[in-house]
Amino acid sequence: MEKLPITAIILAGGQSNRMNGVDKGLMLLAGKPLFQHVIDRIKPQVDFIMINCNQHADQYGSLNYPIFGDDLKGFLGPLAGIYSGLLRSNTDWNLFVSCDTPFLPDDLLARLAKFSATHQAIFPFDGKDNHPTILLINKSVIAQLKKYLENGDRKLMLFLKKIHATAVNFSDTPTSFININTVDMLESANLAIEANK
């Protein structure tokens, strides 16, 4: 299959309720913000990068990637960020990744893209859980997604079922999809990195 141009869009638009209100994408892991770890993992795999954030635009903009907020106001969840990203992207295929997953696999895109000929949306399954906020998705779903959001629906997995998305088994690398969304998890990850130095 010919290599498709891909835009990666970092989802950092949430309220970080479990991080005591501190923006989780900006929390430091080994001295570097979480969202920067995500970019470092994903950059070699894609052609373009954008960041979806609804606050702290100066800090997210510090790496000079395009940044944008949700078009639909009110912190409506990841689907609002996905919709806003698809509207702005110049590539048909887009890889959305959450800002709190710093250990993503180096072959994430290659493994998801194998299903791009037969599905409009593809996400990883780690052997136990689905990870729908890590999502390879085609712009062709924009109209369906707009209608879904306008109806007041917010559930990401429900939308993915509607468009017949498929899951790809990554059970060989389950720790790649750990998302650091509490202060305790961040402390544990920092301690583990220190211990392995």
Average pLDDT, the chain: 91
Q: Look up the pTM and report it.
A: 0.93
Token representation of residue 74: 């009110």
Give the angle 14-17-150 at the CA atoms, nearest 5°: 40
The whole-number pLDDT of residue 181 equals 83
Section 129-144 average pLDDT? 97
Note the pLDDT of residue 75: 60
Q: How far apart are CA 34 and CA 106, in angstroms?
A: 17
Tell me what pLDDT residue 64 has. Answer: 94
User: Residue 9 has what pLDDT?
Assistant: 98
Residue type, 173: T
Diameter of the chain measured on Cα atoms: 50
- Band (pLDDT 50/70/90 cuts) for residue 1 is very low
In this predicted structure, the answer to whether residue 95 has a pLDDT above a threshold of 80 is: yes
Round to whole Å and give the CA distance between 19 and 24: 6
At residue 14, the pLDDT reads 67
Residue 19's pLDDT is: 53
| Model confidence band, residue 84 (pLDDT cutoffs 50, 70, 90) | very high
Name the nearest CA neighbour of 141 among 87, 81, 78, 96. Answer: 87
Q: What is the pLDDT of residues 60-71, one digit of tens each?
A: 999 999 999 998
Q: Give the pLDDT confidence of 14-45 residue by residue, as tens digits.
A: 655 555 567 889 999 999 999 999 999 999 99
User: To the nearest whole percent, how much of the chain has pLDDT over 90?
Assistant: 74
* Structural domains present in the chain: 6-195 (3.90.550.10)
